[in-house]
Amino acid sequence: MTVDGRLVRGERARAAALDAAVVLATESGLDGLSFSQLADRLGVSKSGLFAHWRTKEELQLAAVGHAQRRFTDVVIRPALHEPRGLRRLWALHDYRLRDIFSGALPGGCFFCNAQFEYVARPGAVRDALTAALADWHVLLERLITEAIELGELRADVDPAQLSFELNAHGTAAVYESRLLDSDEILTYARTAALVRLRGLSPTPDLLPD
């Protein structure tokens, strides 16, 4: 089977553009993402970008999808390699914090920034961001439920409540780390989650010190 070199180059160019779009969205906002801005960052013409996306909204939605795939690769997949239960749940929070503090995205987290930005803006972009947040909570609640079933969290733990709390620790870390001492904020975000999970677990020794 022959691979069309033009298609391969086109897909690579599209992926590189979306990589840049995700970074730019955490710098200037998802609504501020424009073809001109992206073209300048990539050193290409706007016409080349129009070959992939016809409107700004299409570009924004593509950036949301690309950010989801990136988050899956960087945070979710590594965490799911950990043993089921409390260790996997902790790993998910820990990998999220690692990503926030890695410097890979100037704003720390594409989704936290974009969700704040679009909280009062109805439309397709807000719907996509809402769905991403809902999916994140579904995953957190699933891992919490697994930990309960394994006896590594107490049976009276409310998965939705704990999911909210863990997400809140990460969300606070995003914006506070950009305004205050990032090393201190990382410590607070890790400690807050560890203290909460230890208090809810019959097997706290499964968690790191």
Whether 2 has a pLDDT exceeding 70, the answer reads no
Nearest to 118 by CA among 25, 6, 181: 25
Whether 161 has a pLDDT exceeding 80, the answer reads yes
Nearest to 57 by CA among 129, 120, 7: 129
Alpha-carbon distance of 130 to 118, in angstroms, equals 9
pLDDT band at 52 (very low <50, low <70, confident <90, very high): confident
Alpha-carbon distance of 65 to 91, in angstroms, equals 23
pTM over 0.85? The answer is yes
Q: What are phi and psi of 51, to 5 degrees?
A: -70, -20
pLDDT of the residue at 7: 56
3-state secondary structure of 140: helix
* Tens of pLDDT, residues 173-191: 999 999 999 999 999 999 9
Alpha-carbon distance of 161 to 10, in angstroms, equals 44
Residues 77, 79, 83, 88, CA torsion sign:
negative
Say if CB 173 and CB 135 are below 8 A apart.
no
Question: Which DSSP symbol is given to 54?
Answer: S
Say if CB 91 and CB 82 are below 8 A apart.
yes
Q: Is the pLDDT higher at 83 or at 11? A: 83
CA quadruple 26, 29, 33, 38: dihedral, nearest 10: -30
The token duo for 198 is 């230890």
